[in-house]
Amino acid sequence: MKKSLFASFMMLVSLAAYAQPQVVAHRGYWKTEGSAQNSVTSMELAAKHKLYGCEFDVWQTSDGVLVCNHDGVIDGIRIEDVPYAKVQYCKMSNGELMPTVAQYLREGAKYPNLKMVFEIKTHKNDERNASVVDNVIRLVRELGVQNQVEYIAFSKFICERLHKLDPQAKVAYLNGNLSPKEVKALGLSGIDYNHSVFKKNPSWLKEAKECGLEVNVWTVNGEQALKEHAANPYIDLITTDDPIVLKKILKGGKKNKEGKGKDGKKNKKNKKNK
Ligand code: MG
């Protein structure tokens, strides 16, 4: 009883200190000229716009090279079935070569304030999934970017293995079929669920906070939906294809709250931001 009262009190304290949600660019900041999903350019743009994080998707070739691409297939080739030599010249839609994860992380390391939200895709079996996780953890350690990397995955197996190999790492479960308590019991740090999951299970937001889990919601697009999610005190991170729209909403929210701009003058732009 005492314990649950204490947990509720702590939750109230943390909500009272409610900070605005962080902005995560879904597959990087790609909705702009010259960019493309999962390209190095999209990551650099996320950093230049001072976003909290840049989400990207990872597959592994049959010879163990990790590459960034959303789909498992590029130019008609199933990435996990072929050696890297077969896909090394495949291009993203902006003409950039599909980056290896090593290239992506090396470039990302130049922007230490940017979090790289690393989605490991579910491969054909758990033997393969285990090999991917082992190679990911090894590479991240080799490059010394542990503090910049946060992991997400749909596969419970992948999440558990990530947590086992690097207990300090942030690992959030994506699949939406486990309650916050169940995710907490796995030892993971957060849930990263589609917005529809929270609509179906509205109590999960509060439950996640009570468990001490971080809450990320995806993929929230469009001004109205972003405004609604930005105002929800239970949400820590919002993953969006419209990161600059969200950034503006959050900036406007701050000004609206205080009624003043940074310079202390009354905020005349509020009306425009609505
Ligand atoms: Mg993804």
pLDDT tens, position by position, 127-159: 999 999 999 999 999 999 999 999 999 999 999
Q: How many Å lie between the centroid of ligand 1 and the Cα of residue 119?
A: 5
Q: How many Å lie between the centroid of ligand 1 and the Cα of residue 258?
A: 35
Q: How far apart are CA 255 and CA 186, in angstroms?
A: 40
Q: How far apart are CA 107 and CA 160, in angstroms?
A: 28
**Token pair for residue 44?**
């650099």
Contact residues for 169 (Cβ-Cβ < 8 A; gap 6+):
146, 149, 150, 151, 162, 163, 189
Residue 102's pLDDT is 98
Enter the pTM of the model.
Answer: 0.88
Q: How many Å lie between the centroid of ligand 1 and the Cα of residue 17?
A: 30
Q: How many Å lie between the centroid of ligand 1 and the Cα of residue 218?
A: 9
Residue in this structure with the two tokens 């900036």, named with its chain if needed: 251
Q: How many Å lie between the centroid of ligand 1 and the Cα of residue 56?
A: 6
Could you say which residues of the chain have pLDDT below 70? Answer: 1-18, 254-274
